[in-house]
Amino acid sequence: NAGVTQTPKFQVLKTGQSMTLQCAQDMNHEYMSWYRQDPGMGLRLIHYSVGAGITDQGEVPNGYNVSRSTTEDFPLRLLSAAPSQTSVYFCASSYLPPTGSGANVLTFGAGSRLTVL
């Protein structure tokens, strides 16, 4: 029972490089999302998806792309890394309850620390 798996755990990039953070979940969750966590700022939503083929922007989407070709995977792509993207990135997933019912309780991965020099 792996839950939400993120890779890599650590990555160092140079400004302008591109890379993909991988996220996979084995719980058949419809909802998947990416957050970044910076000191003193909590978790900010980058992009999210409510199902395969459907993605939407969160609070801080600029500089990131996502796709959702399968239910299990939700990769986050940095197109041209910048020092401002140095952060810890968390992927999270959940079932998507019907409107008006229970909250979608997120299951988080362990995080990926990205440093952009």
Partner 1 sequence: GESVGLHLPTLSVQEGDNSIINCAYSNSASDYFIWYKQESGKGPQFIIDIRSNMDKRQGQRVTVLLNKTVKHLSLQIAATQPGDSAVYFCAERTGRRALTFGSGTRLQVQP
In the complex, which residues of this chain contact partner 1 (CB under 8 A)? 4, 31, 33, 35, 37-45, 48, 50, 56, 58-59, 88, 90, 92, 96-100, 102-111, 113
Tokens describing residue 4: 């939400």
Supply the minimum distance, in Å, between the C-beta of residue 84 and partner 1. 17
Residue (33 or 85) nearer to partner 1, CB: 33
Residue (26 or 59) nearer to partner 1, CB: 59
Q: How far is CA 43 from CA 1, 36, 37, 72, 105, in A?
A: 25, 6, 5, 22, 15
Q: Can you tell me whether residue 20 is helix, strand or coil?
A: strand
Supply the minimum distance, in Å, between the C-beta of residue 63 and partner 1. 18
Supply the minimum distance, in Å, between the C-beta of residue 60 and partner 1. 12
Residue (14 or 98) nearer to partner 1, CB: 98
Supply the minimum distance, in Å, between the C-beta of residue 99 and partner 1. 5
Q: How far apart are CA 17 and CA 78, in angstroms?
A: 8
DSSP 56-110: EE-SS-TTEEE--SSSSB--EEESS--GGG-EEEEEEEE--PPTTSS----EE--
Residue (1 or 100) nearer to partner 1, CB: 100
